[in-house]
Amino acid sequence: MRWLTHILTGIDNETHDVARVLAVVSFAVGLGLCVYSVVVHAQPFDLQQFGIGVGAMFVSLGAALKLKEGTEPK
């Protein structure tokens, strides 16, 4: 589970990064809701719209990480 620590923490691998945690939670919830809509409600799943949404989320995460780059501990 060391890889999870690397994903969810800042550059020093000790400080938890709220933006990264929220991105992982948002992705998991979005994927869960997509599976729920297909399995439980038998609604069609639009993979293109899901991809656009996930892409937008990753772009905003990249922008957030770039903007707070100066506040990272050395």
Q: Per residue in 2-35, pLDDT tens?
A: 888 888 888 888 888 888 888 888 888 888 888 8
Please give the pLDDT value at position 26.
Answer: 83
Number of domains in the chain: 1
- Given a cut of 80, whether residue 74 has pLDDT beyond it is no
The structure's pTM equals 0.66
Helix, coil or strand: residue 61: helix
- Given a cut of 80, whether residue 54 has pLDDT beyond it is yes
- Given a cut of 80, whether residue 47 has pLDDT beyond it is no
Using CA atoms, how far apart are residues 55 and 73, in angstroms rounded to an integer? Answer: 28
Across the chain, mean pLDDT equals: 84
For 37, the domain range is 2-71
Provide the 10 A C-beta neighbour count for residue 23: 20
